[in-house]
Amino acid sequence: MNKIVFEAKNIHKSYRMSKRNIVQALSGVDIEVRQGDFVAIVGPSGCGKSTLMHILGLLDRPDEGILKIDGQDLSHLKEKKAYRIRAKKIGFIFQGFNLIPTLTAFENVLLAGKYGGMKLIDRKERATELLAILGLEDRMHHKPNELSGGQQQRVAIARALVNNPSLILADEPTGELDSKTSLEIMSILKKLNKDENKTFMIVTHNLEVAKECRRIVKMEDGRIVADSMRK
């Protein structure tokens, strides 16, 4: 059995919206993610799936619970240490691509490698390799506004992979794409999962996207209510 790369136990998170209005976003969530998993997190709006992703990605902190990556306890990390681990061990793919508009595709990927502590020669080599794998070798010196939505998301995938992270978190990665391009992006992620044993957790409201994943975790009211493997 593959090793556990991410582990969350008894995760609670609430937000104070006003003096009398406290929203309980997560209520005792337990989840393990193993190397090579291809997981979809699904559920209605407000169920806690995005909050869970933000906590797993060290973008937010739980009020209570234990969080580990590669066996290292992250529950009480200071922000500077959390930033370093996030940069090296976690890749992010966002719905809106989140590319820096003034940089080329190549430069966007290079910058992520810099944040991860890679040497310049190594990140240049890795960025070139990834953009070629993703079919962008002839577009790597174009800026985001010169690329289609699907091409921008491919750049975002390359950026997420440049530091060889333990886990890639994708937040509605096909949300701004048409159905044909969405299938192409999911096909790319599945191929990376299969060929390079990359570990993906995908937050989505799109059941067609979820069906492309081998494991589906369903959330309701801040809790995991189902966790199943597809045959």
Q: Dump pLDDT digits (tens) for 181-197.
A: 999 999 999 999 999 89
Residue 6 lies in a domain: no
**Which candidate, 108, 203, 119, 204, places its Cα nearest to that of 161?**
108
- Residue 149: give the domain boundaries: 38-61+75-229
Mean pLDDT across 88-106: 93
pLDDT value for 165? 92
Residue 210 lies in a domain: yes
**Which candidate, 224, 227, 222, places its Cα nearest to that of 13?**
222
Number of folded domains that form the chain: 1
Residue 155 lies in a domain: yes
pTM of the model: 0.91
pLDDT value for 231? 65
Mean pLDDT across 25-34: 95
**Which candidate, 79, 42, 39, places its Cα nearest to that of 60?**
79
Q: In angstroms, rounded to a whole number, what is the distance separating the alpha carbons of residues 24 and 18? A: 13
Q: What is the DSSP letter of 61?
A: -
Residue 1 lies in a domain: no
Encode pLDDT of 159-188 as tens digits: 999 999 999 999 999 988 888 999 999 999
Encode pLDDT of 194-231 as tens digits: 998 999 999 998 888 999 999 999 999 999 999 998 76
Residue 181 lies in a domain: yes
Query: Residue 19 pLDDT > 80, yes or no?
Result: no
Residue 203 lies in a domain: yes
**CATH label of the domain that carries residue 193:** 3.40.50.300
Residue 26 lies in a domain: no
**Which candidate, 6, 88, 57, places its Cα nearest to that of 203?**
57
